[in-house]
Amino acid sequence: MVILAAIALFLAINAIRALREAGLDTMLSGTLWYPTSDPGKFGMLPLVLGSLLVTGIALLVSIPVGVGAAVYISEFSRGAVKDVLKSIIEFMAAVPSVVYGLIGVAVLIPLVKDVFSLPSGLTALTGGLILGVMSIPTIVSISEDALHAVPMDLRQGSAALGNTRWQTTFKVTVPSAGSGIFAAMMLGLGRAIGETIAVLMLTGNAAVIPDSVFESVRTMTGTIAAEMGEVVQGGLHYSVLFTVGLVLFVITFGVNLAADLVLERQRKRWRR
């Protein structure tokens, strides 16, 4: 709790200069990100849109695959198969993001480049795809927990009415776990939007508002990581990067809080 407050506080303190000199609204609505020109232009819109685009692509991949896999693991597999599947998910969550980035560089970039015959494979699509893979474990494990929490009685009740397993799953189990699955998607989104290193390695990092998924984009996280090493500490650019961090923090905090509240309500529902 203290640490969380401290994080918010430190981000805010360091962001103050930027907020005062550049103004939050100009930063948020500005479309030009030229931090090193004189005077610097700190329009965050390209970064925010970059993050949203990449995250959107990621969710398009991870939600169907993740929720589908979770339903399969929870409702259609058992015994050793279930254990193995769960361990695999845990393994995927344990792979460091830089390694996903490396795999993206080695496999996905050439693949995207060839398949869509683009001049470069460093695109929003590339970053989004790998991010999708990275958020699968979060979505699977939280959804699976939610499905698992649905009382057995409910399934048996449905089966006793002559429903097949799929009918039971579709009509009873998944709707009952609905809010938990929704929370899983939110947490997957939080994970994707906050991911740094892999996207930094894959999206090309052009700070312009993208027209299509085949263009290079730069995310909020990537911007902080790439530029913080080169700025003057305490300078305006430094402060602006903290503002980006603050925006990121507020977004993920909101998303996670919403998901947590949904999960807590769900837990209460099944208690006894």
Q: By the 8 A CB rule, do 196 and 221 touch?
A: yes
Q: By the 8 A CB rule, do 261 and 183 touch?
A: no
Q: Which is nearer to another protein, 169 or 211 (CB)?
A: 169
> According to CB under 8 A, which residues from 220 to 239 bind another protein?
221, 224-225, 228-229, 233
Q: Smallest distance, Å, CB 48 to another protein? A: 14
Distance CA 166, CA 149 (A): 18
Q: Smallest distance, Å, CB 39 to another protein? A: 23
> According to CB under 8 A, which residues from 98 to 127 bind another protein?
98-103, 105-107
Q: Smallest distance, Å, CB 211 to another protein? A: 25
Q: Smallest distance, Å, CB 51 to another protein? A: 10
Residue 128 has, within 13 A of its CA and on its CB side, a CA count of 24
Binding of another protein at residue 253 (CB under 8 A)?
yes
For residue 39, whether the previous peptide bond is cis, meaning omega lies within 30 degrees of 0, is yes
> According to CB under 8 A, which residues from 168 to 197 bind another protein?
169-170, 187, 190-191, 193-197
DSSP of 130-196: HHHHHHHHHHHHHHHHHHHTS-HHHHHHHHHTT--HHHHIIIIIHHHTHHHHHHHHHHHHHHHHH--
Q: Which is nearer to another protein, 100 or 182 (CB)?
A: 100
Binding of another protein at residue 60 (CB under 8 A)?
no
Binding of another protein at residue 47 (CB under 8 A)?
no
